[in-house]
Structure formats: C-alpha cells, structure tokens
A and B are shown apart, each in its own frame.
Chain A
Amino acid sequence: MAISSMDRELGEVFEKYEGKREELIPILQNVQGKLGYLPAEARTAISKFLNLPESVVFGVVTFYAQFYLTRQGKHKIKVCCGTACHVRGGNRILETLKRRLEIGIGETTADYQFTLERVACFGSCALAPVVVIDDRVYGRMSSAKVEALLEQITVEDSE
C-alpha cells in the first residue's frame, strides 16, 4: 500500500478522536477496519497521535486476538473450536482445512486468498460444528461440506 494513501486513511480515523489514551483500542479497530491489519507505519502514527510509546501500542496490539500484524487473506475462514463444536468434531474440520489450504492456524495462503483462524466460540453452539467465512456463519458443518464451500468460493472468485 502506498504510504500517502495510508496517511489519508489514518487521518480520516484520527479526525473522529480527541487523542485520549482510552481511545487506543477503538482507534486500532478502526484503522484495522480500513487497512485490514496494523502495519508498523500505522502503529507508529497511532503512537504519535496518542502521545504513547510505540512499545505500549505494540503491547496492546499483541494482547488482543483481534489485531493482526501481517496482511490477511481476502477470505477469512474462522473455525469455531468452542466446547460444543469440539464435542461435535470441529477439530476434524480444522484439520481438513489445514490440509486443503496447506497452511497452519493463523497463517495466510501465498496468494493472499485465504487466512485460517481458530476462534474460541461464536455462540452458535446449537448449530455445532460452526465455520465462519467472511462473517457469514455456516452451521452443522462437516469436512465434506467445508471442502465444497471452499470450492464454491474459488469458483465465484474466478467468475
């Protein structure tokens, strides 16, 4: 991403805030919403805006599971590993996806198409096992169904 366009995006976010410390997490959420992740340049700009050491910003970013330090895939696949999903075989779905995409948990495919994540619980336990792709919840999944979903997304993208 060109630095100038990032500066503009950051400026748009900062406009909405006063520069108080308690705004750090909402700012990080907003910036990530625009950029997709939190690159070093953005973290530096945020620390300057809030007058905080960069180490503090980095500390907060790495504490919370929601923040990313690297570029994410176009499609985010989150496999629920909550208790109900675990009992109903969520782990097997995760293994299937790891094999199919040839990446590990938290990793992104080389073509930046897919990022694979495991999430503790989506609260849709009654439909376990659950997979969330790009914020859409798919319930009562199986290894076969999730492979079909991947296929479908790849086909839709190529059209």
Chain B
Amino acid sequence: MTFEELRGRAVDAWQEFNEPKEPRILVSAATCGRAAGASTVCEAIKAYLAEKRITGRIIETGCLGLCYTEPLVEIANPGGPSVLYGPVAPEEIPEIFDSHIMNETVATERALARMDGPGFDGVPTFTDLPMMKGQMRIAARNCGLIDPTNIHHYVARGGYQGLAKALQMDPHDVIAEVKKSGLRGRGGAGFPTGMKWEFCSKSVSDTKYVICNADEGDPGAFMDRAVLESDPHCVLEGMVICGYAIGATNGYIYVRAEYPLALERLNVAIGQMHESGLLGENILGTEFSFDVAIEMGAGAFVCGEETAMLASLEGRRGMPRSRPPFPAVSGLHGKPTNINNVETFANVSAIVSRGADEFTKYGTENSPGTKTFALAGKIVRTGLIEVPLGITLRRIIFDIGGGIPEGKEFKAVQTGGPSGGCLPASLLDLPVDYDSLTKAGSIMGSGGMIVMDEDTCVVDIARYFLEFTQNESCGKCAPCRLGTRQMLNMLNDITIGKGRKGDVDLLVEMGQVIKKGSLCGLGQTAPNPVLTTTRYFRDEYDAHVNERRCPARVCPALLTFEIIEDTCTGCGACRRVCPVEAISGEKKKAHRIDTAICVRCGLCYETCKFDAISVW
C-alpha cells in the first residue's frame, strides 16, 4: 500500500468519527481512567442507551492527562458540540445523558470543557482549562483525542507522514534533521539523540537493532504508560524511522510487565502496521524492511539501564556492564544497537514529520522542545502534562497543577524519581531544563514530579527512596550494594529516634562515595534524594537526631497520639477501628489512648470526624 492510499482511507475514517450520524460517546479508558471507574461508567452508558433504545457509538480513548477529574466522558450529538464531562459517577449517567442526548441541552453545570470549538455558557474550550493553559503537546499530541486501537485516527492526524518523508530522504539526512532538533534523550540522562543515532549508523555490521526502552520503573512516573496506551503508533513510527536512519532491520520494545494495557495496545498497533505495509518487508513499497517484537520485562528496576536491559533481552540476570564498548558499537548479541526511551521516539516521529525548526521553537537553547511530566502527590490537579522546557517549577505546580490541596504549605518537589532530588520552595523559580536541575542536585529524569506539602517528612522520603534503590540494586558493585544498605540502616535509625550525632555528615560522605564508585546510573544517582534533602532540609534531620522529633509528624516511632478530652464526643469510632485495643472509654464520654499499647498506626486519627485526636 502506498502512503497516499493509506492516508485517503484514514481521512474518510476520521471524518466519520468527527461528524457522527448518531450520538458519539468517548470514555477515557487508560489504566488510570479504569482505576477511577471508567469501566463501570462504560457499563452504565451501555445500559442507559439500551434502556432508552438509542443507538450510539461508545469509543474508549486514551488519557487526556486530567487524571484529577477522572472518569471523563465526552459526548457529542450529530451536528452538536463535543462536550467533556468529569468526574462522572455511573449513577450520574442518566441525568447527564437525559440532558445532553435526549433534550440536546448541554448539562453546563456538570460540563468541564468543550473539545471541538470555542467555549459557551461558562463552559471553556479545552485548551483554556487552567490545567491545559501553558501546555504544549508534541509527544502526547494525540493522547485522549483518538481511538488508540484505530490506525486511521493516527494517520489522519499526521501519523506516518514522518516515516513516508524519511523514506524519501537519505538516511544521513534523517539523522541530520534529528541532530538539528537538539532532541535529548527523554529517559533521564539527556544524551543528544541525533548523536546517539550517528554513532550507531557509523558502526559497520550485517545486523543492527533498535530498542525502545519502555521499562518505566521510576515510582511516581507514568508518562510512558500513558503515551503507549493512548497513542502506540507514534512510538512505533519513531522506531521505524530510527531503523531506517541507522540501517537496522529489527526492533524490540521492552515493556514492563506491570503495564498489561500498554502491551495489549502495542500488540494491536503492530498487527495494524503489518496489514498496512508499515512493518515487514518493503515498507511503503520501498526497499526498506523492518520488524518490531515486544519483549515483556520481568520486574527489575535496574533493567531500565541500557546494558542491564540488553542482558535481560539475552535471557540473563539484568546486570549492567561497563562501557565502552557502548551499545552503539556492541549491543544486543554483540551487534550495534540503538536504545531510546518511549517519549524520545514519540518526539522523533513529530520532528521528522514537521521539521526540526518546528520543534526548536519551544524550550531553551540547550534543552529544546517539550517534556512530559507526571504530576502526583500533594497537588490539586494530578495528571499528565507536557510543557516547553525552561518553564519554572512554580508555573508547573501552581498554575498548571493548581497548587497544594486543603490550603497547605508547599514544602518540596521531587523530580527524577529515586535518582533525582527534593527541591525546596526557594528553588520554585528554577527553570526546568536538563542543566538547571542537575546544578540544583536533582536530575530531569524521565518526568516524575511528586509534590510534597508540610505534612510530608523529607527524612522519611529520603529513607523511602533509599529503601527502593537498595532493594533494586543488582548487587554487582560493592559501593552500591553495601553502601545503600548502610545508608538505609542509618536512615532507619534516624526515623525511629536512634540517630547519633554525626550521622548526617556520614550519610553525605557515603553518598558521595557511592556516586563515584558505582558502574551504572542506578548507583550513581541512588544517593541523590539523601544528598538533596540534607542540603536543603538539614534542620529537619537535626530535629530527628537531636530532639527525637519529627516536625512533619510522619515518623511513627517519634509520635504520641492523644485524645483531646473536651473535643471527644465519645462516639467510639476510634475504639472500634483500633487494631490493638489501645483505646477505651464509655459511650458518649471522652475516650483515652493507652500509649503503652498504641502501635501508632494512625487509624484513629484518620477515623475521627471531630478532630479530637492530637498528634505530637
């Protein structure tokens, strides 16, 4: 099939999708949407349509990024506006649908935004939503807007145009275009993608491989998952372009096993590519042949490191090896291999299609383009965003993310997951680009952004990250294997009130040694959370060590729970919920906690409706 034929078919399908002849209902059903209840909402919609004898089309789309207001439902009548509603509970379906579909009146008080045109009656247009303003979507350009299982939707929105264009170019010119865009690896380290491709292209071999790293293991990051579930073709197109540019014939996409829906969507997409002549022999009628296979990870964080991933793909324990030789020279099965992250490939397909100049319009000189971030933690609007690089943390957290919930105080933001650092309020005006974040002691990382408020204990957070990296250390390098263990032991002691004078300085010293003495990125960055928190929140460590006090009231061993007699109504809720029967008291009379029995689980504090339990 030629590209023109493919495009012709796609345009028809896209028109049919956008000018429906019957009510069209889109439900955001990526993993996060499903967790919020999208599947039960779908069932409720089906039941409603059946009951009212309405024929309508229900389509499951991907992630719009507005996770804070999931489940999301978009409704359009033939010829009418397409309106987004959210959050929608299954029991609210009849009310909303009666209004929108039966009476053809938009339920404006429940509507979130209009998707296909200017806003009206207090319903803003989608791009004017506070969370969308300031965003620029390149990698996530189709997320939530198309049916991820329909290749025509992708093609109609400019998909595979980049591949068609690349196949008409000399491979070197494709690499030159990617180099010109200045795109840097979105997996975390930020190595220039074009240069990586050039190294691999220069290696001479009968076989070369392209690998897409979809082993998104950073706790608190879900950008790659969202892109793979919502728009798998944009990643696969990037891989095929890369294959052509460096002269490879085979590709692998290494997906972590915890992402079953992403695996499913990729399988569907790869099948469609074969049918449309976009994979396999003679792609789009040219001499170029390329194929992609899916490999499922088996649950090891270190496999996100490229040489560990190669070991895993070869059926071995996923342990990194020293470089050089770099994978571009000797990678999978000893053959030249180019490895890029999901988001990098998603950007490549856009760069080649629209040209490098379009990409460099956004971002800064050394960090051009846009970056996706997963906003989570103590923030009002959680979700997936994509912003031009160089934007400040303040704009991301307060303008796009809506700030901290319940009027609490911002304390810190963790970028780069367990390899990154905790940045304090004084750095809120820091521009988010590769170099500025590194200078502040953190890293860009793959894009997780966890916001913490006054109720978060940074010592506990540092301990948490170290527990994670210590657990995931493959054990090859002694500084990482033993050093993270020692650091964790010390942090455990500090959080249970057994910290000793000088512990904090020793932690810093050990952290620096581990960074220098480890082979791979895991060990080299594992101490970052401790190093940044001791740098920016030293007083909190001192409070734990010197005063045996947790200022954020998180570390259980340092807390005392007490019932405020005057406020307690004697309802007994705390007594019933206490797992160790530490609470006693008569009905309607003030209760009390026996601190000798109390295990400080906090359940009573969570349960009390009258704020009658104090923690100090």
Q: Which residues of B contact A25 (CB under 8 A)?
A: 295, 298, 312, 315
Pick from B35, B225, B257, B378: contact of A139, CB under 8 Å: B35
Cβ contact within 8 Å between B377 and A99:
no
Task: Give the residue among B295, B300, B314, B377 with the most A Cβ atoms within 10 A.
Answer: B377
Q: Digitize A59-81: 1 where CB-to-B-CB distance is under 8 Å, 0 elsewhere.
A: 11001111100000000000001
B532 to chain A, nearest CB (A): 14
Interface residues on A, range: 35 or more
Q: Digitize B301-321: 1 where CB-to-A-CB distance is under 8 Å, 0 elsewhere.
A: 100000000001111111000
Q: Which residues of A contact B31 (CB under 8 A)?
A: 122-124, 137
Pick from B295, B297, B602: contact of A92, CB under 8 Å: B602
A139 to chain B, nearest CB (A): 4
B507 within 8 A of A: no
Cβ contact within 8 Å between A83 and B414:
yes
Cβ contact within 8 Å between A83 and B315:
no
Complex A-B: 10 CB contacts under 8 Å: A64-B299, A65-B299, A67-B299, A86-B461, A86-B464, A120-B301, A124-B31, A126-B374, A127-B36, A137-B34
Chain A, Cβ-Cβ closest to B257 = A66
> Helix, strand, loop or mixed for chain B's interface?
mixed
Q: Which residues of A contact B225 (CB under 8 A)?
A: 123
Cβ contact within 8 Å between A126 and B382:
yes
Cβ contact within 8 Å between A87 and B606:
no
B327 within 8 A of A: no
Pick from B221, B450, B468, B577: contact of A87, CB under 8 Å: B450
Chain A, Cβ-Cβ closest to B223 = A123
Q: Which residues of A contact B296 (CB under 8 A)?
A: 26, 29
A23 within 8 A of B: yes
B260 within 8 A of A: yes
Q: Which of B370-387 contact A (CB under 8 A)?
A: 374-378, 382-384
Cβ contact within 8 Å between B298 and A81:
no
**Alpha-carbon distance between A22 and B254 when the two chains are bound, in angstroms:** 14
Q: Which of B244-274 contact A (CB under 8 A)?
A: 257-260
Q: Which residues of A contact B359 (CB under 8 A)?
A: none
B: residues with CB less than 8 A from A are 31-32, 34-36, 67-68, 70, 216-222, 225, 257-260, 295-301, 312-318, 333, 374-378, 382-384, 414, 417-418, 448, 450, 452, 456, 461, 464-465, 468, 472, 474, 577, 579, 601-603, 606-607
Cβ contact within 8 Å between B36 and A88:
no
Say yes or no: A84-B220 contact (C-beta < 8 A), given A63-B318, A66-B257, A126-B32. yes
Q: Which residues of A contact B602 (CB under 8 A)?
A: 92
Chain B, Cβ-Cβ closest to A57 = B315
Q: Which residues of A contact B67 (CB under 8 A)?
A: 126-127
Q: A83-B450, A121-B221, A142-B606 are in contact. List 4 more A-B contacts (CB 8 A).
A: A92-B601, A123-B374, A130-B35, A139-B36
Q: Digitize A104-146: 1 where CB-to-B-CB distance is under 8 Å, 0 elsewhere.
A: 0000000000000001111111111010000101111011100
A24 within 8 A of B: yes
Cβ contact within 8 Å between A123 and B258:
yes
B3 to chain A, nearest CB (A): 34
B126 to chain A, nearest CB (A): 18
Say yes or no: A99-B579 contact (C-beta < 8 A), given A67-B298, A126-B382. yes
A12 within 8 A of B: no
A10 within 8 A of B: no
Cβ contact within 8 Å between A87 and B312:
no
Cβ contact within 8 Å between B606 and A143:
yes
A126 to chain B, nearest CB (A): 3
Cβ contact within 8 Å between A59 and B218:
no
A28 within 8 A of B: yes
Q: Which residues of A contact B603 (CB under 8 A)?
A: 92, 96, 143
Q: Which residues of A contact B417 (CB under 8 A)?
A: 83
Cβ contact within 8 Å between A137 and B450:
no
Q: Which residues of A contact B297 (CB under 8 A)?
A: 66
Cβ contact within 8 Å between B376 and A119:
no
A34 within 8 A of B: no
**Alpha-carbon distance between A65 and B579 when the two chains are bound, in angstroms:** 31
A95 within 8 A of B: yes
Pick from B35, B220, B300, B383: contact of A82, CB under 8 Å: B220
A1 to chain B, nearest CB (A): 23
Cβ contact within 8 Å between B606 and A83:
no
Q: Which residues of A contact B414 (CB under 8 A)?
A: 83
